[in-house]
Amino acid sequence: MLDNWLSKKQMWLLRGVMVVIFLIQVGAYFWSSYREKNICKLSQPHSQYCDLTVVRKLSGVAEAIALSSDAHTLVGGGGKSFTVWHLPSQQPQLTLKGHANDIYDLALSADGQTLVSGSLDKTIKVWNLATGKLKFTLKGHSEVVNALAIAPNQQTIVSASSDKTIKMWNLATGQLTSTLAQTPDAVITLVLSSDGKTLVSGDSSNHITVWDLVTGRKRTTLTGHYGVVSALAISRDGQLLASGSAKQVKVWNLTTGKLLQDFGGFYFPQITIAFSPNGQSLIAGGGYKPYRVWNLATGNMEATLPDVSNWSGAMVFSRDGKTLFSGTQDGITVWKFSAPSHP
């Protein structure tokens, strides 16, 4: 019918425009793909993250990982078990089992002696890593335990669940101490500030909630994600909050709630995010996709880490910033900076 309204010349012109638009889109796609894989060759100044090298790989499923503050103990968990590694000797110390279903998250005490695991079996288990013995099994959630954290005072466990609750437990006794106000949707992820006064949670309705743990009340709600908020991180100085969903990573001022950066143009089936220890860069990745590194001062992508060989979904920096650990379905990759300086 369109042919009847347009002359042959107009039709050829229209088709030509459509072909040009198509070619531009195809070219943009291939350029974006090429740029992502070769960003370290193209970007100036040269990023330290381009000098990250894999120094070793630790075996075993590690869809969740936890690191002690002295970087001597590393735990990787997946399926129904987890492995405890002594990093100075690069040797596994323990492999422990106890959950009836898959482990979803791990939290390790600062001294590396106590491990907390949360599972699809709706329970939380507290382990003594010095003896390899189970101390407590915490029951109280009615759905999967998605996320865990140990408060900086080393006295409280915080857990998030698909049962729409966030619970607080006494680490020493295993007793439930409080439940934050019922949330409207499943709580997928959480993170604590370094002073232990602020808790941030992400849920399946694409919302981020900032809680005041001194009063136990909700401080604010942040919106803008188009998908489930499944990853959160707070910068070491407590000033910045990063949130991640499959197609978006956002950076917020944690005090004011103002959106500072909004990164897109990717798809991570399962996302994990982390600030560099100096707070100047943000790393995000997951699934079979290469990790992306953004410079927070410029908002530009400064590097990508090489393609992973298997599904990845966990990441943590050592406190000194010299080492990055990433967990996958086939083990833990240990990265180090080859340059003397580091983030």
Domain positions in the chain are 12-42, 47-337
> Residue 75: what pLDDT?
94
Task: Tell me how far apart the alpha carbons of residues 325 and 261 are, in angstroms, rounded to a whole number.
Answer: 25
* 314 touches 272 (CB < 8 A): yes
Q: How far apart are CA 3 and CA 304, in angstroms?
A: 48
Q: How many CA atoms lie within 13 A of 142 on its CB side?
A: 4
Whether 191 and 230 have beta carbons less than 8 Å apart is answered as no
The one-digit pLDDT tens for each residue of the chain (343 residues) are 445 555 666 666 766 667 666 556 545 444 344 444 544 544 545 577 766 778 888 888 888 999 998 889 999 988 899 999 999 888 899 999 999 999 999 999 988 899 999 999 999 999 999 999 999 999 999 999 999 999 998 999 999 999 999 999 999 999 999 998 777 899 999 999 999 999 999 999 999 999 999 888 999 999 999 889 999 999 999 999 999 998 899 999 999 999 999 998 777 777 889 998 888 889 988 776 778 888 898 888 888 876 555 556 788 988 888 888 988 877 888 888 765 455 5
Instruction: Identify the pLDDT of residue 282.
Output: 92
Rounded to whole angstroms, the Cα distance separating 257 from 308 reads 34
99-132 b/e with 16+ CB inside 10 Å = b? beebbbbbbbbeebebbbbbbbbbbbbbbebeee
137, β-bridge pairs? 125
Q: Own/partner pairs for 183-186, CB < 8 Å, 24+ apart?
A: 183/209, 186/143, 186/146, 186/161, 186/162
pTM: 0.84
Q: What per-residue confidence (pLDDT) applies to 32?
A: 44
Segment (H or E) for 11: helix 8-37
The matching CATH number, chosen from 2.130.10.10, 1.10.10.60, 3.40.640.10, 3.30.1370.60, for 47-337 is 2.130.10.10
Write down the pLDDT at residue 33: 47
Amino acid occupying residue 243 = S
Cα–Cα distance list, 168 to 49, 213, 307 (Å): 37, 10, 38
**SS3 (DSSP) at 54:** strand
Place of tokens 């001597």: 72
CA distance 328 to 193: 26
Identify the pLDDT of residue 39. 46
The tokens of 232 are what? 């959160």
pLDDT at site 183: 78
Of the chain, the end-to-end C-alpha distance in Å amounts to: 62
Question: What pLDDT score does 35 carry?
Answer: 45
